[in-house]
């Protein structure tokens, strides 16, 4: 029997690490996503690229834009379009709540991660406020200070 790549049974498929750096994440929501069969297979083996992905609202529906899912090689002719918009599934009251908050406070909706939950693929979106340069510098400074403290604790424990 040939050895193949192990498929992730659960957990994170892709994360948007830049979202935590660029935005202050306020409220999170778990959504389903409408995918074709080749997209699901590709996600489970290759993952996705969430670099510039964002959530758009059209006709009171949530759409995930600029999420790149690579084509699934064995599918050949029946493959999907890598950058197509994908519909997100959420309850009407959740969509209305997010729309009200985002339009009132000047906030935006950002996808933070894609993960497998049992047999389903889920997307976590967050209501986010953009950070300015000073906030980003402060975050980097606190992260460096925490790293230095942890390093000092490890050195003290070694002695």
> Does 6 have pLDDT greater than 70?
no
Segments making up each domain of the chain, as ranges: 11-131
pTM of the model: 0.73
> Exposure pattern of 67-86 as b/e (b: 16+ CB <10 Å)?
bebbebeeeeeebbeeeeeb
pLDDT at res. 125:
92
Q: List alpha helices for the chain, DSSP H.
A: 17-22, 37-46, 92-105, 133-158
Cβ–Cβ < 8 Å for 66, 52: yes
Rounded-to-integer distance, Cα 134 and Cα 132, Å: 6
Cβ neighbours, 10 Å, residue 112: 21
Q: Which CATH superfamily is domain 11-131 in?
A: Small protein B (2.40.280.10)
pLDDT in tens, 11-58: 788 888 888 888 888 889 999 999 888 888 888 887 788 888 888 888
> Does 80 have pLDDT greater than 80?
no
């Amino acid at each position: 029997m040939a050895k193949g790549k192990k498929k992730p049974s659960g957990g994170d498929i892709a994360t948007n690490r830049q979202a935590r750096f660029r935005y202050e994440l306020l409220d999170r929501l778990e959504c389903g996503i409408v995918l074709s069969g080749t997209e699901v297979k590709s996600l489970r083996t290759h993952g996705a690229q969430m670099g510039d992905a964002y959530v758009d609202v059209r006709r009171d529906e949530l759409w995930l834009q600029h999420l790149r899912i690579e084509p699934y090689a064995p599918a050949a002719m029946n493959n999907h379009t890598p950058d197509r918009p994908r519909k997100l599934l959420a309850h009407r009251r959740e969509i209305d709540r997010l729309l009200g908050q985002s339009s009132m406070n000047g906030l935006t909706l950002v996808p933070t991660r894609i993960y497998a939950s049992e047999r389903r693929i889920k997307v976590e979106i967050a209501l986010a406020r953009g950070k300015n340069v000073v906030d980003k510098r402060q975050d980097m400074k606190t992260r460096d200070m925490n790293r230095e403290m942890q390093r000092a604790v490890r050195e003290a424990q070694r002695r």
